[in-house]
Chains A and B, each alone.
Chain A
Amino acid sequence: MTALLTISRAGPLMSVQDDGRYGFRARGVSTSGAMDRDAHAIANALVGNDADAATIEFALTGGAFTADRDTLIAVTGGSCQVEIAGRSVSTWESHLLKSGETLTVGALRGAVWGYIAISGGIAIPKMLGSRSTHVRTAVGGLNGKALSAGDILPLGDSEKRAPRTLGTPYLRGHGPIAIIPGPQDDYFDEDAWKTFLRQPYRTTTARDRMAMVLDGPVLQAFKGHDIVSDATVVGSIQVPGSGKPIVLTADGQTTGGYPKIATVASFDLARLAQLPAGQQFLFRAISADLAEEQTIHADDRLAAVIADLRTSEG
């Protein structure tokens, strides 16, 4: 018998996500997957799931859930009110959710993307190698759609485990967001570059899983804001004619016709995605070679956090 998770209340933009869909960008299929890969990975580890198991991602507000089997659950991504059968429990650790009990997840404070992992993982069928939902093209997920109240999700099998907490704290970076100039860095003159690297930009409410439109000083591309369409990557910073930068995120389209001034370093993309709307920040430029070093270092730090989970008392 497959265990089932029933959603009785769902925030907006709630969807099934895993660690991404790879190998199909050449066919126009976005990578998708969790907006905050680290938080998703930690949530999975806390409930004893493999790194590629699917979790429920939510934006700003969680929801209410019931399982028909005893499970372990963990909520990560930021801090928020989480209750099991009316008892308050902590984020960033796993807890027993008994069969029939209600899990409620409130609103994130100081973060945008949250993750709810359930032991066994969300066991919907994979599409093109992944369970991640790309709502815009109806690929993956539960019938290609965002989750809503009344949806029922199958859970995978799992061994019985004790709840766990982090032995090593998971700390995010701080300071300016690291970017690597290019590929169309030479579409922008020295003044535009000075503006980009010295003036603050602001996150806005114009954001979803596909992209974040930033507010701040206008960036003029002296070679024009149209290029012959070429490939984009997750983290590409496009500059359309409005001069307001657009950061492509997990669900970003695979090609684009705007010049890309830079790419957000992969170790800083989730930190940017987690900035609440209206928050000011600065960019700093680093070389691709240095960014590779720091990305590998960040992956090692995450692996160390996941390797040091401890059984919690009681």
Chain B
Amino acid sequence: MHFRPRSGPKSTSESTYPRILRCGDRAIGIEFSDTVSEAANLKVLSLDASLAAEPIDGILETIPTYRSLTVIYDPKILRGAALGEALMQRATHDTAVPETGRLLEFPVLYGGEHQADLDELAALKNMSAADVIALHASAVYRVYMIGFAPGFAYLGGLPDILHTPRLAVPRQRIEAGAIGIGGRQSSINSVPGPSGWRFLGRTPFKLFDPARTEAFLLKAGDRITFRSVDLDEARELDEKVAVGTAELKEIAR
């Protein structure tokens, strides 16, 4: 076989973006950056929107992430080489601005079963728990991507002061709805499972509920604010969510 992979040191010049990355014989990626940036994420979402509006025959799924768009295709209908060219063409010539995502308000019961993490975070930052809550609830977050688990939302926009490393030892079970901080990222947990993130509280709303008509609450590009609620309001919302009458407040489009 004469084929040689690209190995690191041979490529001396810095990569230029966007660039095409082959991901096997049924998927291809187009990468806009190798860091987390809102500009790169907007390009990802813009290209994704373009593919939704004017589909290319043979594309089966698109997966937008922080900085790249991965496209799954049927090689019987569409070859990766041709698809890569089409993606580059659209990415470099299409200047369409993606529509601004919805702005949604999530009620959060700060503390609660996550009081220990909240107190520890406050101690680490030399702040009171109330200050941490005020700071966390003051920001507008962007859903950079959905991934890892059904409906799990990776958020950008966490205030710098709250950036905190993950726990050395992950916990075995974190409930759905838990609001977490992992490094410079923030998240809303969607299904119960192990996690090494630190958690400040929980929202009664379910990001993923397969029994609901719309199983997923969020999509990449949506914006989010958090509003602190007390235990009584959280319990009231829990009951409404359980019977399907709770409605997430959409502040703007």
Q: Which residues of A contact B (CB under 8 A)?
A: 22-29, 127-128, 136-139, 180-190, 192-193, 222-223, 227-231, 233, 235-236, 253-256, 260, 262-267, 284-292, 294-296, 299
Bound form: Cα–Cα A266–B63 in Å: 19
Shortest C-beta distance, A246 to chain B (Å), equals 15
Select from chain B the residue with minimum beta-carbon distance to A27. B216
Bound form: Cα–Cα A183–B8 in Å: 12
Bound form: Cα–Cα A266–B154 in Å: 29
Select from chain A the residue with minimum beta-carbon distance to B21. A183
Q: Is the CB of B149 within 8 A of A180?
A: no
Residues of B within 8 Å of A263, CB to CB, are 22-25, 27
Interface centre among B7, B64, B148 (most CB of A within 10 A): B7
Residues of B within 8 Å of A127, CB to CB, are 210
Chain B interface size band reads: 35 or more
Contact with A along B144-177 (1 / 0, CB 8 A): 0111111110100000000000000000000000
Bound form: Cα–Cα A194–B200 in Å: 46
Q: Is the CB of A28 within 8 A of B7?
A: no
Q: List B204-253 residues whose CB lies under 8 Å from chain A.
A: 208, 210, 215-216, 219-220
29 A/B residue pairs, CB under 8 Å, sorted by A: A26-B220, A27-B215, A28-B151, A28-B190, A127-B210, A136-B193, A137-B193, A138-B191, A139-B150, A180-B24, A181-B5, A181-B22, A183-B22, A185-B7, A193-B7, A229-B145, A229-B148, A229-B154, A231-B63, A233-B23, A255-B65, A255-B147, A263-B24, A265-B25, A287-B3, A290-B3, A291-B25, A292-B75, A296-B76
- Residue in B9, B22, B67 whose CB lies within 8 Å of A288: B22
Select from chain A the residue with minimum beta-carbon distance to B48. A26
Which secondary structure dominates chain B's binding surface? loop
Say whether B46 faces chain A, with CB atoms less than 8 Å apart. no
Shortest C-beta distance, A25 to chain B (Å), equals 5
Residues of A within 8 Å of B3, CB to CB, are 285-287, 290
Residues of B within 8 Å of A136, CB to CB, are 149, 193
Shortest C-beta distance, A293 to chain B (Å), equals 8
